[in-house]
């Protein structure tokens, strides 16, 4: 592209361009009619997030300090004056440095035209100046309680992200070029895709992130060989077929989160954690949670513990003939696992000899931006929805997670699908992400209120399960804690707090990347990095731990295997599914995962 224009863009054919504009108008009319029809069926929706109240309080606080507000406005004017000066200098041929640059990793402005074409460079910089000014201004308001301040900051960022020039046809050079070169056909395809997404979401815009027809569970994802050896109303237990002649004596049970399906641990052959563990000589069992419907509305958190984890442990004992085992708890599966370990310790059940936690929180006092969604007004709204249906739909929870990384998980797909008119790329991870599960009303309400809102799991006896006070300080077995540096769902600072609760030996490892890639990182790929600290007792804070940590290249999996292998007993002949007291009920990945 040229410095000050779009000279390399082919101008549209007037007749075809006009025909496509007529199609766009027709599709747009349908969108408006559908929107109005939905609104007429749902008049006067409440403000369940209480956003209006938070911003009213912020505005009132701002008006009590008019001098600060004026100073903030002057700062913005000074920045704009500098931007105008630089733009004028560049127009006459003088090289200038940008007043403001996108953050590292901001992919919205990666197209070269944002830098090379002066008008788009000016649009980009003016947006970045305004966006950062808005966020800095709301963050500097004094007198707000912490919850309100975080809510205002979060939703200001949501607004700022939504208003980015990359999200609009006339201010995105890549989209503008595509519109000219295709005579607007990209916008026609985009509107058709939007209509289809609205139809698929039954009125809710279910933005397609990948080609959902490109993957099939059990065919090209979740393909590790194994058998279902146990089933009850909330889980299937899969035992994987060994690939080594001998295995460690103590079997390994994995408890994944119930908000997503277990096969994040078994996407493809080259990144399957399950296949990797089997190849290392472990007898691997995985819980596959049911996708609950209204019939399971009253299933509780302690039911998931007793009929989930405890019955699964009983089944592993029966399948292998071994009393002792090791376990893994992943994300909220780890929260449940911690509760179960405290319950077992209090009742004298010592079958679990070591536990690993992946991105699992037990002290929720600093649980990150998800706490924005957990105030009383929002919980009442969620509970009302669940009372009507008996469960929380997984897509609603997924939408919340996507808001935490809106530019990557919402707006990038809006631009790709609706503005550029492209099909989303087939990506197994995003297929899994879209394959969300429901959550029983009773269990999910308990989890949100007692963990996120009240933080009772971190208090000795704060929770009582099956009549037993839960105290994590009674957990004295060896524990391996993994967290990821860029995790936006289970922040590393929050995960680290567990090091101060468990009373046995604790090894904490910090991985690079985020909630998924930080965990699913096979060593052979050579990606990211991890940090270890060999202090015998973990320091009080993550900051102190990090100060004494050593950075190592690549995955943390090998470090973990060295740790777990020493706690898994001697090698014994490999066990085949069905060899023990449990008979084979079907092939992996089972039936619950396809519900």
Query: Among all residues, which ones are annotated catalytic?
Result: 331
Write out the DSSP string of 449-462. Answer: IIIIIT--TTSTTS
Q: Are strands 325-330 and 252-255 parallel, antiparallel or unpaired?
A: parallel
Q: What is the DSSP string of 481-517?
A: EEEETT-SSS-HHHHHGGGGT--S-EEEEEESS-TTT
Q: Is 429 exposed, middle or buried (0-12, 13-18, 19+ CB in 10 A)?
A: middle
**Separation CA 448–CA 332 (nearest Å):** 11
Distance CA 311, CA 339 (A): 15
Q: Which residue has the tokens 């405890």?
A: 310
User: CB of 252 within 8 A of CB of 313?
Assistant: no
How is residue 260 written in tokens? 């997503």
DSSP 536: S
Cα–Cα dist 376/153, whole Å: 19
Alpha carbon distances (Å) from 89 to 120, 128, 145: 16, 20, 45
Q: What DSSP state is assigned to residue 3? A: T
The rounded distance, in Å, linking the Cα atoms of 238 and 593 is 11
Distance separating alpha carbons of residues 141 and 369, to the nearest angstrom? 19
Q: Which residues pair with 440 in a beta bridge?
A: 391
The conformation of residue 259, written as its DSSP 8-state character, comes to S
Report how far residue 142's alpha carbon sits from residue 120's, in angstroms, rounded to the nearest whole number.
36
């Amino acid at each position: 592209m040229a410095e000050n224009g779009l000279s390399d863009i082919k101008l549209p054919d007037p007749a075809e361009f006009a025909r496509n504009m007529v199609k766009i108008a027709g599709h747009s009319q349908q969108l408006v009619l559908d929107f109005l029809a939905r609104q007429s069926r749902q008049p006067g929706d409440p403000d369940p997030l209480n956003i209006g109240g938070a911003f009213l309080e912020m505005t009132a606080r701002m008006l009590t300090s008019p001098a600060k507000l004026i100073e903030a406005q002057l700062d913005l004017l000074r920045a704009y004056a500098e931007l105008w000066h630089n733009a004028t200098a560049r127009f006459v041929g003088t090289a200038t440095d940008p007043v403001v640059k996108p953050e590292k990793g901001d992919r919205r402005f990666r197209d070269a035209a944002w830098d090379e074409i002066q008008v788009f460079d000016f649009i980009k910089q003016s947006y970045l100046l305004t966006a950062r000014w808005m966020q800095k201004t709301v963050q500097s308001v004094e007198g707000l309680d912490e919850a309100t301040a975080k809510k205002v900051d979060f939703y200001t960022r949501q607004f700022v992200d939504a208003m980015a020039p990359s999200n609009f046809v006339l201010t995105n050079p890549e989209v503008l070029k595509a519109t000219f070169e295709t005579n607007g056909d990209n916008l026609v395809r985009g509107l058709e895709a939007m209509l289809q997404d609205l139809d698929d979401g039954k009125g809710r815009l279910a933005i397609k992130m990948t080609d959902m027809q490109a993957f099939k569970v059990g065919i090209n994802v979740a393909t590790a060989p194994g058998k279902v050896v146990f089933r009850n109303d909330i889980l299937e237990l899969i035992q994987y077929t060994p690939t080594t002649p001998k295995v460690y004596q103590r079997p390994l049970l994995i408890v994944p989160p119930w908000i997503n399906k277990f096969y994040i641990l078994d996407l493809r052959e080259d990144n399957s954690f399950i296949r990797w563990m089997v190849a290392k000589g472990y007898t691997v069992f995985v819980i596959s949670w049911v996708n609950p419907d209204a019939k399971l509305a009253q299933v509780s958190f302690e039911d998931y513990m007793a009929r989930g984890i405890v019955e699964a442990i009983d089944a592993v004992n029966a399948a292998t003939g071994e009393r002792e085992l090791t376990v893994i708890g992943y994300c909220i599966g780890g929260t449940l696992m911690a509760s179960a370990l405290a319950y077992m310790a209090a009742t004298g059940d010592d079958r679990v000899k070591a536990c690993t936690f992946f991105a699992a929180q037990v002290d929720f006092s600093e649980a990150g931006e998800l706490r924005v969604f957990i105030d009383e007004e929002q919980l009442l709204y969620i509970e009302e929805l669940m009372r009507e249906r008996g469960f929380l739909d997984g897509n609603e929870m997924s939408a919340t997670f996507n808001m935490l990384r809106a530019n990557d998980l919402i707006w990038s797909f809006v631009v790709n699908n609706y503005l550029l008119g492209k099909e989303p790329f087939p990506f197994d991870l995003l297929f899994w992400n879209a394959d969300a599960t429901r959550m029983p009303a009773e269990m999910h309400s308990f989890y949100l209120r007692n963990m996120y809102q009240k933080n009772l799991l971190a208090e000795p006896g704060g929770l009582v399960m099956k009549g037993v006070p839960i105290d994590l300080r009674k957990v004295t077995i060896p524990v391996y804690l993994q967290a990821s540096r860029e995790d936006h769902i289970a922040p590393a600072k929050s995960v680290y707090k567990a090091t101060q609760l468990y009373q046995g030996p604790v090894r904490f490892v910090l991985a690079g990347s985020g909630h998924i890639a930080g965990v699913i990182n096979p060593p052979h790929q050579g990606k990211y990095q991890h940090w270890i600290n060999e202090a015998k007792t973990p320091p009080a804070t993550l900051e102190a731990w990090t100060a004494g940590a050593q950075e190592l290249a690549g995955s943390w999996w090998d470090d973990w295997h060295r740790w777990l292998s020493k706690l898994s007993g001697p090698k014994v002949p490999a066990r085949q599914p069905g060899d023990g007291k449990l008979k084979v009920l079907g092939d992996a990945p089972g039936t619950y995962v396809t519900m």
